[in-house]
Amino acid sequence: MSVLSITDMSIALPSGADRPFAVKDCSYEIAKGEILCVVGESGSGKSMTANALMGLLPEGVTVAKGTAEFGGKNILKVPEIEQRALRGDRIAMIFQEPMTALNPLMRIGEQIAEVFEAHKRHTPSERKARALDLVREVGLPDPEKIIRAYPFQLSGGQRQRAMIAMSLALEPELLIADEPTTALDVTTQAQILKLILDLRERRGMAVMFITHDFGVVAEIADRVIVMRHGEIVERGTATEVLENPQHDYTKRLLEAIPTGLVPQSVAVEKAPALEVRHLKKTYYTGGGLFRPRRDVRAIDDVSLTIAKGEVLGLVGESGSGKSTLGRAVVRLVTPDAGEILVGGTDMAALSENDLRAARHKVQMVFQDPYASLNPRQRVMRALTDGPMAKGVPKDAARARARELMETVGLGADAVDRFPHEFSGGQRQRIGIARALAMDPELIIADEAVSALDVSIQAQVLDLLRDLRRQFDLSILFITHDLRVAAQLCDRIAVMQRGKLVEIGPVSDVFLNPQHEYTQKLLAAVPGGGWGKAAE
C-alpha cells in the first residue's frame, strides 16, 4: 500500500545548465509508515525530486515527464491551487538550514499556527493551543516560553524541532526531510533522528529522507535509493544496500566512509613538534553602555603536545573552541595566556615583526575550498608569495611550486591557472600544496575535508596519509567528524566548551572512552553500530 508512487519522472534543467536533466527516468514508491532514504552526493538531483513533489521547483526548472501518484492524483500535474492545498496539509517538508528556514520577525508559535491558518482549520485560539501541543510533542523545553520566542533565541537543534512541529501540524501522510540534520552537531543530529523515528512510530507517516550520509542511512532507513547524476543507480532495503552493494558507485561511496574500524596508533618519536601549555582565550561580547558584558571561554587552560611525525585529531562540536585553538597555534588569534612552543619558539610571545618571520613554522589548511584561494591570483602566486616573503629566491620558489603541484596530483602546469578553474577537492589539494611550500614544522588542518563530498573526502584523506609518510609531517587535524578523525589520526583530543576533556591514542579513546562527554559523542555518531558490525 504505497503512499506515493513515482513513475518515470524526469526534471528538466534550464538550457545552459551542466546537464539537460536534474533527474532522469526515476521510479520508486514509498509505503505508509516507511522511511525511504534518498542518498547521493551534491549534484545528484536528490533534492530536486523533493522540490518537484512539493511544487517548489526553482524558476526555469520543470517536470519534463512522468507521474507522481499521491492520494489518487498525479500531483505533478494538478493546478497550483490544489498543490497549495496539499502542501503543509498532506505533504510536509523540512529543510537543511534551520538557522534560515524560520522567519526572523515572527514568533515561533505564530509560525506554527500559520499552518492551520493556511488551511483554514480551527479558530485562532485553538490554533494557539495546538501549536503549544506540537511544541511539547517535539520535545522542546519550556513550551509556553518557546511559542512566544523569536527564532534567534533558539539553538539550531531547537529550530529544527520547531520546523518539525510545524510540519506535523496537520498530520501529513508524507514528510519530506531534505538533509535535515546536516547542519547540526552530531549529538543534536542523533536527537533529531530519534525524534523522526519516534514520530514515524506514533503517527505512521511515510518519510522521504534525503541525505548524503550513509551513517544516517544506517541509523534510520527502511529502504534506500542511491542517486548519481540524476539517475537511480541502486535500490533496496537498508541492509541489502549497506552490506551487499551491487553498483560500483555505491561500493565506492561505502568504502569511502570511515567505518569506525579503529587503526592502531603508529609509534611516534618523542621530540615534540608542538607544545601547548596552559593556553587561555576568552572572548567578550556586548559590554556597551547599557549592556552587560558576557564572556565566553573559548580556550580554557588547555595543554597538549604533538610529537614529530604525529597526527593529533582535535574533535568537538561547534562552540567547543577547537577552531580557536587551531587559530591560536598559528597566531591568527592571540591567546590571553599560556605558551605555544614550536621548535623551541614561543609563538604566543612573539612581537608582530618576529611573528612574521616565524610564521612559516606553522601552516594551515582551511575548511572552505571556495574562500581559501584568492580568486584574482593564479595558483603560482598563492604558492610562491610565502616562500619569497621568507627569502627563497624567485626561481627556486617557482620550481618548488611546480614540484608540489605534481606531488598533490594536479600536475605542474596547473600553476598557471586561476582558482575558479578547479573543483572543490582540487582546491583543497592546492591549499595543501600551499602549506607544504613553506616547509612547516607543523600543519593545522581545520575541518580540511568537511566541505567535500564523501568520495572526494576519501581522496584528500588518502593524499594526506601519503604526504605524511613522504614528508614525516606533524599535523593537528581539527574536525567535528569522529569517523574522519579515526581514519587519519594517531591520537585524539576531545574538547568541550573550551576545555580539553580527554586525550589519548585513537584506540583507547574510541574503544574505551573515559570522559562522559566523549562517550556521548561516540554514541551519537550515526551508523556507529553498523560500522562495528562490519568489523
Partner 1 sequence: MAIAGTILGRLLKAALTLFAIAVLNFFLIHAAPGDPAAVLAGEAGAADEQMIADLRAQFGLDQPLYVQLYRYVGNILTLDLGYSFRQGAPVLDLILERLPATLILTLTAFWISLLAGVALGVAASARVGKFTDSLITGTALLFYATPLYWAALMAVLVFSVQLGWLPGFGYETVGSGYGGFDRAIDILKHLILPALTLGLFFMAVYMRMTRASMLEVAQQDFVKTARAKGLAPSVIRRRHILRNALLPVVTLAGLQAGQLVGGAVLTETVFAWPGIGRLMFESLAARDYNTILGVFLVSALMVIIFNIITDIVYRLIDPRIGQKA
Partner 2 sequence: MSLWSRFATNRAAVAGLIVLIVVIIIAILAPVMFPKGPWAMVQRPFLAPFGTDGLPLGTDTLGRDVMAGLIYGARVSLLVGLVSTVMALLIGVPLGAVAGFYGGWVDEIAMRFTEFFQTIPNFALAIVLVAILEPSLTSITISIAIVSWPPVARLVRAEVMSVTRREYVDAARLAGLSNLHILTRQVLPNTVSPIIVMASLMVATAILLESSLSFLGLGDPNIMSWGYQIGAARTVIRSAWWLSFFPGVAIVLTVLALNLIGEGLNDALNPHLTRKGKS
Chain positions contacting partner 1, by CB under 8 A = 54, 56, 84-89, 92-93, 95, 97, 100-106, 114-115, 117-119, 150, 152-153, 163, 166-167, 285-286, 288-291, 294
Beta strands in 349-416 (DSSP E): 362-365
For residues 151 and 431, which CB has a smaller minimum distance to partner 2 in the complex? 431
Is the CB of 146 or the CB of 473 nearer to partner 2?
A: 473
Report which secondary-structure segment, H or E, holds 110.
Answer: helix 108-118
Cell (9 digits) for 57? 521547483
Q: Give the binding range for partner 2 (CB under 8 A) out of 74-82, 133-141, 311-319, 367-375.
A: 367-375
Binding characters for partner 2, 313-342, by CB under 8 A (x = yes): --------------x--x-x----------
Which of the stretches 38-46, 126-134, 199-207, 364-372 binds partner 2 when contact is defined by CB under 8 A? 364-372
- Total residues binding partner 2 (CB under 8 A): 32
Binding-site partner at residue 130 among partner 2, partner 1, none, CB < 5 to 8 Å by type: none
What's the CA gap between 173 and 368, in Å, rounded?
39
C-alpha cell at 84: 497549495
Q: Is 510 helix (H, G, I), strand (E, B) or coil?
A: helix
Query: Nearest approach, Cβ of 157 to partner 1 (angstroms)?
Result: 16
Name every residue whose Cβ is closer than 8 Å to that of residue 28 and which is 6 or more positions away in sequence.
5, 6, 36, 225, 232, 235
Q: Interface with partner 2 by CB under 8 A: which range of 104-112, 131-139, 201-209, 374-382?
A: 374-382
What residues contact residue 363 under an 8 Å CB cut-off, 6+ apart? 330, 434, 435, 436, 438, 440, 442, 443, 444
Which amino acid is residue 221, in one-letter code? A
Contact 227, 234 (CB under 8 A): no
Burial-class residue 496 by CB neighbours within 10 Å (0-12, 13-18, 19+).
Answer: buried
Reported as type and span, the H/E element at residue 88 is none
User: What residues from 42 to 61 belong to the interface with partner 2 (CB under 8 A)?
Assistant: 51, 58-60
Q: Can you tell me which of 386, 425, 498, 526 binds partner 2, judged by CB under 8 A?
A: 386
Instruction: Compare residues 279 and 435 and give the one whose CB is closer to partner 2.
Output: 435
**Lookup result for grid cell 614525516:** 472
Residue closer to partner 1 by CB (options 167, 250) is 167
396 binds, options partner 2, partner 1, none, Cβ within 5 to 8 A by partner type: none
Q: Residue 177 Cβ, how far from partner 1 at the closest point, in Å?
A: 12
258 binds, among partner 2, partner 1, none (CB under 5 to 8 A by kind): none
Binding partner of 150, given partner 1, partner 2, none, CB within 5-8 angstroms per partner class: partner 1
Shortest distance, CB of residue 76 to partner 1, whole angstroms?
Answer: 16
Give CA–CA dist 358/245, Å, rounded.
51
Q: Which does 373 bind (CB under 5 to 8 A by kind): partner 2, partner 1, none?
A: partner 2
Beta bridge partners of 209: 37, 177
Please list, in sequence order, all residues whose beta carbon lies within 8 angstroms of the beta carbon of residue 340, skipping any fewer than 6 positions away. Answer: 274, 275, 276, 277, 279, 328, 329, 331, 346, 347, 348
Report the C-alpha gap between 476 and 491 in whole angstroms. 10
96 binds partner 2 (CB under 8 A): no
- For residues 338 and 279, is the Cβ–Cβ distance under 8 A? yes
User: Which of 72, 288, 376, 395 forms a contact with partner 2 (CB under 8 A)?
Assistant: 376
Binding partner of 101, given partner 1, partner 2, none, CB within 5-8 angstroms per partner class: partner 1
Burial (CB count within 10 angstroms: exposed 0-12, middle 13-18, buried 19+), residue 516: exposed
**Phi, psi angle pair for 358, to nearest 5°:** -95, -5
CB nearer to partner 1: pick between 93 and 493: 93
Among 366, 422, 510, 517, which residue interacts with partner 2 (rule: CB under 8 A)?
366
User: How many C-beta neighbours within 10 Å does residue 454 have?
Assistant: 21
Which amino acid is located at 242 in the chain? L
* Least gap, CB of 73 to partner 2 (angstroms): 26
Residue 374 binds which of partner 2, partner 1, none (CB < 5-8 A, kind-dependent): partner 2
Window 427-466: contact mask with partner 2 (x via CB under 8 A): ----x--x---x----------------------------
Q: Measured from the CB atom, is 40 or 531 closer to partner 2?
A: 40
Q: Report how far residue 172's alpha carbon sits from residue 370's, in angstroms, rounded to the nearest whole number.
A: 39
Question: Could you say which of partner 1, partner 2, none residue 470 binds, taking C-beta under 5 to 8 angstroms by partner kind?
Answer: none
Please name the residues in contact with 18: beta carbons below 8 A apart, sequence gap of 6 or more.
none
Please provide the size of the chain in residues. 535
Q: Which does residue 431 bind out of partner 2, partner 1, none, counting CB within 5 to 8 angstroms by kind?
A: partner 2
**What string of H, E and C letters represents the secondary structure of 167-199?**
HHCCCCCEEEEECCCCCCCHHHHHHHHHHHHHH
Least spacing, CB of residue 530 vs partner 1, in Å: 32
Binding mask 392-421 for partner 2 (x = CB under 8 A): ------------------------------
- Picking from 23, 13, 9, 8, the residue whose alpha carbon sits closest to that of residue 58 is 13
Identity of the residue, 171 or 421, whose beta carbon is nearer to partner 2 in the bound complex: 421
Binding site for partner 2 (CB under 8 A): 51, 58-60, 327, 330, 332, 356-357, 359-360, 362-364, 366-368, 371-377, 382, 385-386, 389-390, 431, 434, 438
